[in-house]
């Protein structure tokens, strides 16, 4: 296999962008991710690929729960803020207001148009990311008119 062709081919997979959060009490991790997809209707399952050496990974392993905040088109700047280390100051997470998720205790960013909480059911520990399969246990739609932020439109890549 030609590695350059593989890279360019895999980068043509279409993605959205999401701020994934997890919490164990006051300990919080939050990061922008794109490796996420729905994986079953009944039960409603999603799968996410999470970097093994990240704080997010440690907290998801420990608590078995996470929240997904769906970024809207036009929220590229918010996505960028969650490539940086997580900081809570003056009731904001990396500068953005949040509330606590009702089922997971993970932060929900109130400026983002939609969110869901998920409980991990399975984990595939194979490569440098773990694939967590999780059941959606709560969801909220703050802006029914919003369109999602699409990875291709940002010019960023995470894949290949």
Half-sphere exposure of 80 (CA within 13 A, CB side): 7
Residue 61 makes contact with ligand FAD by CB under 6 A = no
Among 34, 63, 69, 94, binds ligand FAD (CB under 6 A): 34
101 binds ligand FAD (CB under 6 A): no
Task: Report how far apart, in Å, the C-alpha atoms of 90 and of each of 24, 52, 151 are.
Answer: 19, 30, 30
Q: Which stretch binds ligand FAD (CB under 6 A): 33-41, 90-98, 100-108, 137-145?
A: 33-41
Which positions ≥6 away from 156 have C-beta within 8 Å?
none
> What CA–CA distance (Å, rounded) separates 60 from 29?
9
* Residue whose C-alpha is closest to residue 70's, from 159, 132, 140: 140
35 binding ligand FAD? (CB under 6 A): yes
Q: Which is nearer to ligand FAD, 42 or 89 (CB)?
A: 89
> Would you count residue 32 as binding ligand FAD (CB under 6 A)?
yes
Residues 74-93 that bind ligand FAD (CB under 6 A): 83, 85-86
């Amino acid at each position: 296999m030609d590695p350059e062709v593989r890279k360019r081919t895999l980068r043509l997979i279409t993605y959205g962008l999401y701020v994934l959060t997890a919490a164990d009490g006051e300990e919080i991790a939050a990061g922008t991710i794109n490796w996420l997809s729905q994986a079953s209707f009944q039960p409603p399952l999603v799968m996410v690929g999470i970097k093994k050496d990240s704080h997010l990974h440690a907290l998801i392993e420990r608590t078995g729960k996470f929240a997904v905040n769906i970024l809207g088109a036009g929220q590229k700047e918010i996505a960028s803020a969650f490539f940086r280390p997580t900081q809570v100051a003056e009731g904001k997470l990396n500068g953005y207001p949040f509330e606590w998720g009702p089922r997971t205790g993970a932060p929900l960013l109130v400026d983002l148009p939609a969110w869901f909480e998920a409980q991990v059911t399975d984990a595939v520990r194979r490569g440098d990311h773990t694939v967590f399969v999780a059941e959606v246990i709560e969801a909220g739609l703050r802006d029914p008119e919003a369109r999602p932020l699409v990875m291709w439109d940002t010019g960023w890549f995470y894949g290949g």
